[in-house]
């Protein structure tokens, strides 16, 4: 289990050996990495929740303060993380199966989890953001609007792009595929996920 905690950090520097290790999908190996996977899923979900427009306006409601925002981030982040782990993991699994994968859904989920470590890294920007903007980080029209706030948005976008790149690296490494095949599978999954999100937005009346 300690080896998998080390690999959680190593994936940011030398990702390929980490994903190659995921080829061992035995029950014992999967159990050894279950705690790091759970931690990544929850923390990545918190990062996702904090990046939403909902989080940016929480303190427009007088019922929210520092404590309730922290509670919201933990519980909503947990929901987001689990949704991403299982739902996006299922989409990715269908995509890799479509291009020839023989692996399990569990292994695909674990690839997705370790690829999400950059999202966890993005949380490191939050102490700086809170130090600069305080509660305005959760209010509309606060001091975080403008160039300074845009820097943090750029950091989040960069971490998301990094995570997406790691998904490609992970799919390639765990299956032993060439880059075009791995990238095609991830692109297929991304297109399917985008189509689902668009359909939900249209159904909710937020598009067109």
pLDDT by position in tens, the chain (length 208): 799 999 999 999 999 999 999 999 999 999 999 999 999 999 999 999 999 989 999 999 999 999 999 999 999 999 999 999 999 999 999 999 999 999 999 999 999 999 999 999 999 999 999 999 999 999 988 787 778 789 999 999 999 999 999 999 999 999 999 999 999 999 999 999 989 878 876 875 655 5
Whether 71 contacts 40, CB under 8 Å: no
Instruction: Please state, in angstroms and rounded to a whole number, the distance separating the CA atoms of residues 91 and 150.
Output: 31
- DSSP SS3 for 61: coil
Query: How many residues can be counted in the chain?
Result: 208
What is the reported pTM? 0.94
Please work out, in degrees rounded to the nearest 5, the angle formed at the alpha carbon of residue 151 by the alpha carbons of 75 and 82: 25
Task: For residue 195, give the nearest of 183, 207, 184 by alpha carbon.
Answer: 207
Residue 99: its pLDDT value, please?
96
For residue 50, the model assigns a pLDDT of 96
Question: What is the predicted pLDDT for the residue at 147?
Answer: 81
Q: What integer pLDDT is reported at residue 125 of this predicted model?
A: 96
Question: What's the token pair of residue 123?
Answer: 């949380």
Strands in 34-115 per DSSP E: none
- How far apart are alpha carbons 123 and 153 in whole angstroms? 12
pLDDT of residue 199: 83
* Cα–Cα separations (whole angstroms), residue 94 to 82, 103, 139, 169: 18, 11, 39, 18
Q: Tokens 């305005």 identify what position? A: 136
Look at the alpha carbons of 72, 73, 76, 82 in this order and tell me if their dihedral is positive or negative: negative
Q: Quick one: tokens of 122? A: 């993005």
Are the C-beta atoms of 45 and 84 separated by less than 8 Å? Answer: yes
pLDDT attached to residue 208? 52
């Amino acid at each position: 289990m300690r080896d998998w905690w080390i690999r959680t950090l190593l994936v940011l520097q030398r990702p390929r050996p980490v994903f190659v290790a995921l080829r061992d999908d035995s029950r014992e190996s999967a159990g050894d990495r279950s705690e790091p996977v759970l931690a990544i899923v929850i923390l990545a979900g918190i990062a996702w929740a904090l990046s939403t427009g909902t989080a940016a306006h929480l303190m427009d409601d007088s019922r929210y303060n520092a404590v309730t925002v922290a509670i919201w981030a933990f519980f909503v982040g947990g929901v987001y993380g689990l949704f991403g782990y299982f739902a996006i993991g299922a989409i990715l699994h269908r995509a890799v199966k479509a291009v020839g994968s023989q692996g399990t859904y569990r292994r695909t989920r674990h690839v997705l989890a370790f690829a999400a470590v950059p999202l966890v890294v993005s949380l490191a920007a939050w102490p700086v953001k809170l130090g600069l903007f305080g509660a305005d980080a959760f209010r509309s029209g606060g001091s975080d609007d403008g160039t300074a706030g845009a820097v943090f948005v750029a950091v989040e976008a960069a971490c998301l792009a990094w995570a997406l790149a790691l998904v490609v690296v992970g799919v390639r490494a765990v299956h032993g595929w060439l880059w075009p095949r791995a990238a095609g599978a991830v692109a297929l999954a991304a297109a399917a996920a985008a189509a689902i999100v668009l359909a939900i937005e249209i159904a909710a009346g937020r598009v067109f």
